[in-house]
Amino acid sequence: MDPHQVFPSGPIMRKPADGRPRSPENLLKDWLSEPSGTPLIESMQQFKLEENFIRAGMDNLKDRTWLGSGGSNPRLALEMMENRIAILTAATDEYCKLTMNLGWDVDTVEKSATMLMPYLDVSERTCYTYYGHQYRSMQYAEIILDSKSVIGDERSLILLGVLLHDLGKIGVPGSLLRKAGKLVGKEKESIRKHPEYSSIIINKVITEATSKGSPIRTHGDRIAEIAYTHHEQISGKGYPRGLAKEQIDIGGRIAGLCDSIEAMSAKRIYGELNPATFIEVAAEATKQLNNQFNGDLVHNFLSAAGCEAVLKRIFKIIESAGGFP
């Protein structure tokens, strides 16, 4: 069996490489001072992504919702901008820590971070939930990995995959991501391409940031596969490849569960749908045991939530997404 289908029995413990990357604030400085998004557009073109993808990405760059402008409430706009900067900074910091734990050299960490974070920023700005969906999904993944005592390289790779799982939404029209009604025909087809887009972006960025033959590219393959499989289902009825059970990377199974937990419990910034409470989320996850979600992972998450400290942690994540525990 592929070792990525189950957690390794003896996770690798690795000391971080010597040196540390620049602060997240410094790594983000150029991107945040370039509101037109020119570097990101050039990146998409350099990677030769599909024209429709690039066009949608350019349109999504114009979304001002989380940029502290627009609307009739200046105070709210400022709060939204501050929230965006805080989460983007935290996500960048986590990315650097996780990749350093994998033994990546500082140059690769910095170069890949400065290329990936703009994709994460725009994909978050155009989504239907509060900014930070991927970061909060990673926080839920930490709870599951803690419950299974997963450490070392396996932990870092899975958390990176969850942190970056929705990058591909940058190339999906924002109007579809925020559509209140049911998606039909080509709309559904467009949405269902985002896991593949996420995988492509991750692989291209890490390839660009490393030298030929670097072992880091193997890490990139794994992180990309986790992102690629986060909408597959245990039943085989997921997308984009219709994988089932152990065909789905264990990290992809975790990403799929955490993605759903976060999406259900977070407040929508568009539309009238209210966020689910934790009890409702738990009920839906239980309902989908061994259908959409891996049963063991759901049990791990709910069992961990039985600890008061963990439950408080979960409630804090939900509240940070505008939800109601």
pLDDT band at 65 (very low <50, low <70, confident <90, very high): confident
Q: How much is the CA Rg of the chain, to the nearest whole Å?
A: 19
State the pLDDT at residue 73.
Answer: 81
Residues whose CB falls within 8 Å of the CB of residue 6, separated by 6 or more in sequence, listed in order: 246, 250
Under the banding of pLDDT at 50, 70 and 90, the label for residue 16 is: low
Over residues 82-125, the pLDDT tens digits come to 999 999 999 999 999 999 999 999 999 999 999 999 999 999 99
Structure tokens belonging to residue 25:
């604030």
* DSSP secondary structure code for residue 319 in this structure: H
Q: Indicate whether 1 pLDDT > 50.
A: no
Long-range contacts of 261-265 (CB under 8 A, 24+ apart): 261/137, 261/140, 261/285, 261/301, 262/129, 262/133, 262/136, 262/137, 262/140, 262/317, 262/321, 263/129, 263/133, 265/318, 265/321, 265/323
pLDDT above 80 (res 174)? yes
The structure tokens listed for 170 are: 């940058």
What residues does each domain of the chain span?
22-320
- Residue 123, Cβ density class (10 Å: 0-12 exposed, 13-18 middle, ≥19 buried): buried
- Amino acid identity for residue 179 in this structure: K
Count of beta carbons in the 10 Å neighbourhood of residue 151: 16
How many residues appear in the chain? 325
Give the span between the Cα atoms of 321 and 6, in whole angstroms: 31
High-pLDDT (> 70) share of the chain, %: 94
CATH topology for the 22-320 domain: Hypothetical protein af1432 (1.10.3210)
d(CA 7, CA 145): 10
Q: Is the pLDDT of residue 178 over 80?
A: yes
Kindly report the average pLDDT of the chain as a whole number.
Answer: 92
Question: Each residue of 270-318: pLDDT tens digit?
Answer: 666 789 999 999 999 999 998 999 999 999 999 999 999 999 999 999 9
Most confident of 16-20, 61-65, 118-122, 129-133: 118-122
DSSP 8-state secondary structure symbol assigned to residue 168: G
114-134 tens-digit pLDDT: 999 999 999 999 888 889 999
pLDDT at 44 exceeding the cut of 90: yes
DSSP letters, 233-244, are: -TTS--SSS---
Q: What are the φ and ψ backbone dihedral angles of 293, each rounded to 5 degrees?
A: -110, 155
Selected residue with higher pLDDT from 129 and 12: 129
Cα–Cα distance measured from residue 291 to residue 66, given in angstroms and rounded to the nearest whole number: 35
Distances (CA, A) of 303 to 147, 254, 285, 287: 8, 15, 13, 16
pTM of the model: 0.95
pLDDT at 272 (0 to 100): 62
Structure tokens at 180: 């209140």
Cβ pair 262, 275 in contact under 8 A: no
Residue type at position 71: G
